[in-house]
Amino acid sequence: MQDTEIFSLALGLDGTPWFVKEVRLDREARRRDLPLDFKPGTRFLHPISSEPSPVHDTVQKCWRHLNFFQFECHLHARVPRVSDPEQGVRLITVPWARPDRGFTLLMEALRVVLARTAMAVNEVARLIGQYSQRLWRVLHHYVDQARERWDLSPVTTGGVDEVSRRGGQNYLTVLSTPKTDTQPARIVWVGEGRDATVLAEGIQWLERHGLQAPPLTYALADLSPAYRKGLTENQPNVQVIFDGFHLIKLAGEAVDQVRRREVQHAGALLTGTRYLWLKRTQNLTPGQEQRRHQRLTSGLQTLRAWQRLEVLRRLAQESDPQQAEIALHWGCTGALRSRIPELKRLVRSIRSHWAGIVAYFRTRITNAIAETLNGIFQTIKRKARGFRTLRCLRTMTCLVAGPLDVQIARAFPG
């Protein structure tokens, strides 16, 4: 069997008008070139009318294909332009590549697979010997295409959270959907900023993909007033839920504020003890547990604030929503009576978000999935050393943490 026949079979050209005309190998350039041609008299489908049409003329094209062993592989072909009495002369679409692209579908598929492993695009570009911008164009195409196919009409619960894009007050708003019987948990939208306007923009994008039928029943969010405003303005019937994670986090911040205030006069009793009060008891080492036990009779306000934190942790595990609400009410009353200013601020925050916290006790829906997806997001960001544009960041995030059903047509028929 000749080399041309072997490569024709490898490229899946058997049964098509196309064939490998010859095989060229340049050992010094480590490159293999495969000129393709079609059989004389072949009629091709017109791109608009889809009718078999005669060849009007041809245009020379070249595509980068997957490497054959250690050699770069390039396909060359004179692509026909076909004529139609009504639709005029048009360039046909070859079966191995998208129109007006310099890569075969298999080459594009390789790029998507490598990027989906969270490998930085610059690393993929160096690996295959191409400019990173050409890779971004491929990724944008397939990610945008996959996101447009999303049907979000079955979604009744959504999550909103903020992540830091870079240092300072530079944040992104991330919308996600929890895992269901038919859909995995996924990040569906990323926007720049963390105010009500950005959230409204994200909800409008979701509505264009079917979210309005039916509307959101529950929305998971942190204690941000901007997010609460954005949700209630754009989804007026939604029940905003503030899960136990954010409640415990807020209480932990209050405990640490008390400790930092007291360390100025308590000295050695509180120096270097931050995590003694913030970590769960089961997560402490024996030495840390002993150090904390030694301070239980010190009369510090930090100790009293920590005891309130422990109450909230037990409360978050309460299975009876009515009992949990009653216990939270008495817990807030006790915190106010402690006369600790940081706890008073904590109680004010809890009471201003009371309906959302009680909704968590009733539904037990958490935003843990969003936090996990945000961890994936941070991994992507670190590997890439940051992204130049929001579109690049959104594309990579949706590709890796979507997850997306990226559909790349078979590169060759047969």
* Weakly modelled stretches of the chain, pLDDT under 50: 213, 410-414
Residue 126's DSSP bridge partners are none
Rounded Cα gap, residues 199 and 221, in angstroms: 11
Angle at 302 between CA 340 and CA 255, to 5 degrees: 80
Could you tell me if 376 and 393 are in contact, meaning their C-beta atoms sit under 8 angstroms apart? Answer: no
3-state helix, strand, coil in the chain (%, to 5): 45, 20, 35
Under 8 Å between Cβ of 157 and 175 = no
For residue 76, the model assigns a pLDDT of 95
Q: Which of 401, 384, 349 has its CA nearest to residue 174?
A: 401
Architecture of domain 157-242+366-401: 2-Layer Sandwich (3.30)
What does the alpha-carbon distance between residue 159 and residue 262 come to, in Å, rounded to a whole number? Answer: 37
Q: What is the pLDDT of residues 83-124, one digit of tens each?
A: 988 888 999 989 888 888 889 988 888 888 888 887 788 888
- Please write down the HEC assignment for all residues of 200-240: HHHHHHHHCCCCCCCCCCEEECCCCHHHHHHHHHHCCCCEE
Distances, alpha carbon 99 to alpha carbons 145, 244, 371, 405, in Å: 15, 52, 40, 22
Distance CA 118, CA 35 (A): 35
Query: Global pTM?
Result: 0.74
Q: Domain extents for the chain?
A: 3-145, 157-242+366-401, 244-361
The answer to whether the bond into 236 is cis (omega within 30° of 0) is: no
pLDDT at residue 126, rounded to an integer: 85
What's the pLDDT at 379?
Answer: 76
**373 with 118: CB under 8 angstroms?**
no
pLDDT value at position 169? 66
Please give the radius of gyration of the chain, using alpha carbons only, rounded to the nearest integer. 30
The alpha carbon of 401 is separated from its chain's Cα centroid by a whole number of angstroms, namely: 4
For 85-156, strand residue ranges (E) read: 88-91
Q: Which of 41, 32, 30, 34 is nearest to 19 (CA)?
A: 34
pLDDT at 60: 94
